[in-house]
């Protein structure tokens, strides 16, 4: 699970070529994806970087700052630039949704539709849900104790996919 919220400026790829790699040469360079408005300009820069080869077969040897779903050793997917264009909050929401569901091809719309809140714990989520739907009277006597953790564990958690990050639990209806 990714515990670092990424920003567009974090996204990088180490670009080499298969010819160099096959000859034991790891010469390449880290490129910041924020420097390129689209995949085409990024690929052009990669080819210019390896202009010492007639027709460089690009090899993306490492990456950081973006989800693995966009990365491949021989390809950086075009929709990565859509992800990079998202606002930081939307990017985090989408990352949490993809983590919770395991659906790497999910969209920000999928994540927004399914997001049910972010809480400090399952118990907090259970209490908030009960209060929001009016199931807990405002004049409930103070001597009544409700086990919110048990309410979450026994009855509610199975209705959600979750992702945990920085002590918070992100809930998504699936």
pLDDT digits (tens, 9 = 90+) for 21-60: 999 999 999 999 999 999 999 999 999 999 999 999 999 9
> Is 98 inside a domain boundary?
yes
* Structural domains in the chain (count): 2
Query: Which structural domain range is residue 21 located in?
Result: 8-85
> Is 3 inside a domain boundary?
no
- Identify the pLDDT of residue 138: 81
- Identify the pLDDT of residue 15: 98
Do 77 and 122 sit in the same domain of this protein? Answer: no
Burial class (CB in 10 A: 0-12, 13-18, 19+), 157: middle
pTM score, two decimals? 0.74
60 — phi, psi (to 5°)? -95, 100
Do 99 and 78 sit in the same domain of this protein? Answer: no
Percent of the chain exceeding pLDDT 90 equals: 80
Strand 160-165: give its sheet, edge to edge.
Answer: 115-119, 168-173, 160-165
């Amino acid at each position: 699970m990714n515990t670092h919220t990424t920003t567009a400026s974090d996204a990088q790829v180490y670009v080499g070529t298969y010819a160099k790699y096959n000859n034991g040469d790891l010469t390449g360079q880290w490129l910041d994806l924020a420097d390129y408005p689209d995949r085409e300009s990024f690929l052009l820069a990669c080819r210019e970087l390896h202009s010492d080869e007639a027709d460089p077969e690009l090899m993306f040897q490492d990456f950081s700052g973006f989800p693995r779903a966009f990365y491949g050793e021989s390809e950086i997917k075009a929709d990565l630039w859509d992800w990079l264009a998202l606002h930081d909050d939307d990017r985090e929401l989408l990352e949490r949704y993809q983590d919770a569901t395991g659906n790497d091809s999910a969209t920000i719309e999928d994540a927004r539709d399914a997001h049910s809140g972010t809480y400090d714990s399952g118990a907090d989520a259970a209490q908030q849900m009960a209060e929001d739907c009016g199931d807990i009277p405002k004049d409930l006597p103070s001597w009544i104790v409700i086990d919110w953790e048990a309410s979450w564990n026994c009855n509610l958690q199975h209705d959600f996919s979750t992702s945990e990050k920085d002590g918070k639990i992100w809930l998504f209806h699936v």
